[in-house]
A and B are shown apart, each in its own frame.
Chain A
C-alpha cells in the first residue's frame, strides 16, 4: 500500500528519434546510449532524490512512431507526469508538441497548472544544426502554460533537472491531496531501498 501511494509515474513522449530513450537511459545509467533502435515500449523503476527524500519513480519510455500509437495512448491515460521531448535539430518534431499536448490534456482531462507537463528541447549539444530558437520554444510553452527546458542527453545537461522538476510537481500535487499521510510514507521508503537504481525491463 505504501509503495503504491509513493510511486510516481513519468511518461516520456515525443516524435520519433528525438532522444526519448537517450534521456531516460542517461538518467538511469549516467551514460549516453547512442543505439539507433526505435522503442516499442520500455518501463523502468528507479529511486530519485527529491529534497532529501528518496522517491520511487516509474519511467515509461514510449514509441515515437505512429505505428505503435495504440500502445502509447494506453500509457497517456495511466501516466501522471509527462516529459514531452522534441529535437532542437528537427523542426518537424517540434511541430508535434502541440498535438501531443492536446492528446495528453484530453486523456487526463486536466490542464496546466495542475497537469504535470514539461516540454524538453533535446540535443542542445548540436548547436550548429539547431532549427528551433530557444525564445520561440519558450514563448510557445508559456502560451500553453507549461515549462520549457533544453537538455543534452549526450553531454548530460539538464536531464536530471528535467525529471526533478516533474517529480516536484507530482509530489506537491499529491501532498496537496493527502498531506498528512505523504510525509510518513516518504520516511518509510527511505529505510527500505537506499537509492538503488533498478531495471525492470529494457536493454541489458
Chain B
C-alpha cells in the first residue's frame, strides 16, 4: 500500500502502521483545509456506516459548527481504513469481467495493453473524440471481459484506434465509483474554483494522495496518456478538448450529472461544468507534477515525527482542521449573534467601569445603562466576573488599584466606544 511506503519515507519512524496512516491522513486534510474549506469534512472522517446519516446531518444540523478550528483526535480508525482502501470488493483481482466493476488492485494486463496501444497512436486526428463503430466497441468489450483472451493490438486489423479509445473512455465511464472517488468530488469542485496556481496544484497533489492506490495509479497512467495526446499537434485534441470528454466521467457525481442534464437553461450549472472541464484540462496539462508530494506535507510530517520522537504520545498531538466558513442553522446563527453581541457589550461595560473617575465615565455608564437596561440586569445577576459587581465596590477597587500602582487603568480614550 503506497501510503505506508510514503509514511515510512516521510516520517521514517517505527509506529503502528494504521496509526501512522491515520495521522498522515489528518495531516493531509489539515493542509488541504488551510487552502480550501472542506465541504464534506464529517463524511470524510466519519465511519462508512454513518456515511448516510452524516450526509443528511449536513443539511441543517448545528453540530457542524464544531468543525471550526477543532482539534481532531484519532477516533477515526475507520476513516483511514475506508479512505486508503478501495470501497468495493475489488480485492478479487483475478476477476475476468472488468467493465462496470471497481478498479482491480493490480491493473489487468489486458487494460495495460490497451493503454500501450493508444500510447502508440497519440498522433491520430480526433483520438478520443471520434467514436469508432458501436458494434466493434461491443466486440472489444466482450473480448476484454472474457478470460485470458487478450487482444494483440499490434497484430490485429479488425479494430481501429478510435474503437480502442472509445473502449477506454467507456471503461472509465462505467466504473461504479468515479476515478476521483465520490467523497473527494466536493473537494475537487472547491479546488476547481481556486485561481492561484500554486495553491491549486498543492491542494490537488494533497487530495490525490488520499486516493486508493489503484485509483491513483490508473489516474496517473490515464492523465499521462492524455497529456501525450494533448502535446501532439497532429491529434488536434488539446487538453481542453480532452477535458471536455473526460470531465463527465472522472468527476461524475450527483452535481455533475445535474450539470450535464441542465447545461442549457441554467447558467450556473453550465458554469460549473465549464469549471470542471477546465479543471480536467489542468490535470492533463500538469499530469507529471500532480503526483509529486508537496513540500508542505513533508515538513508537516517531519514536525509530527519530531514530536513523536520527543516522547509525546500519539493522541496528544493535535491536528488542526481550519475552516473559515461553517454551515449553521438559522436558530444557531441567532444564538451565536446574540451571545457574541452580549459578550462584546460586557467588555464594553467593563471598559467604561475601568475608566478613571470623572464626568466622562459617569456619562458613558449612564448612557450604556439607558441603552441596554436588560443587559445591566443580566450583568449584575448572572455574571461571575469579579470585575462586574455592584458599582460602589468596583469604583473603590479601581480607585485603590490605580492609586497603588500609579498607573492609569487600561482604557483607550482614542477609541470612543459610544461612536462604535
Q: A36-B236, A92-B132, A92-B133 are in contact. Are A68 and B260 (CB under 8 A)?
A: yes
Q: A65-B245, A67-B169, A67-B245 are in contact. Are A41 and B134 (CB under 8 A)?
A: no
Indicate whether A187 reaches chain B with its CB closer than 8 angstroms. no
The DSSP consensus for interface residues of chain B is helix
Indicate whether B263 reaches chain A with its CB closer than 8 angstroms. yes
What distance in Å separates the Cβ of B45 from its nearest Cβ neighbour in chain A?
Answer: 33
Interfacial residues of chain B within 202-250, with CB under 8 A of chain A in the complex = 236-237, 240-241, 244-246, 248-249
- Cβ B130 vs Cβ A37 within 8 A: no
Residues of B within 8 Å of A, CB-based: how many?
A: 29
Indicate whether A15 reaches chain B with its CB closer than 8 angstroms. yes
Residues of A within 8 A of B241 (CB): 36-38
Binary contact readout A2-41 vs B (1 if CB under 8 angstroms, 0 otherwise): 0000000000000111000000000000000000111011
Whole-angstrom CA separation of A15 from B126 in the bound complex: 12
Whole-angstrom CA separation of A202 from B315 in the bound complex: 56
- Cβ A71 vs Cβ B263 within 8 A: yes
Interfacial residues of chain A within 67-110, with CB under 8 A of chain B in the complex = 67-68, 70-71, 74, 90, 92-93, 95-96, 99
Closest to A92 in B: B133
Indicate whether B273 reaches chain A with its CB closer than 8 angstroms. yes
Binary contact readout A41-72 vs B (1 if CB under 8 angstroms, 0 otherwise): 10100000000000000000000111110110
- Cβ A92 vs Cβ B273 within 8 A: no
- Cβ B126 vs Cβ A40 within 8 A: no
Indicate whether B96 reaches chain A with its CB closer than 8 angstroms. no
Interfacial residues of chain B within 273-300, with CB under 8 A of chain A in the complex = 273
Residues of A within 8 A of B170 (CB): 66
Residues of B within 8 A of A41 (CB): 263-264
Beyond A92-B160, A93-B130, list 19 extra A-B contacts (CB 8 Å): A15-B131, A16-B126, A16-B129, A17-B126, A17-B129, A36-B241, A37-B244, A43-B264, A64-B131, A65-B131, A66-B131, A66-B173, A67-B245, A67-B246, A67-B249, A92-B132, A95-B133, A95-B134, A96-B131
Jot down 9 A-B pairs with beta carbons below 8 A, ordered by A. Answer: A16-B130, A17-B129, A41-B263, A67-B246, A68-B260, A71-B260, A90-B130, A92-B162, A96-B131
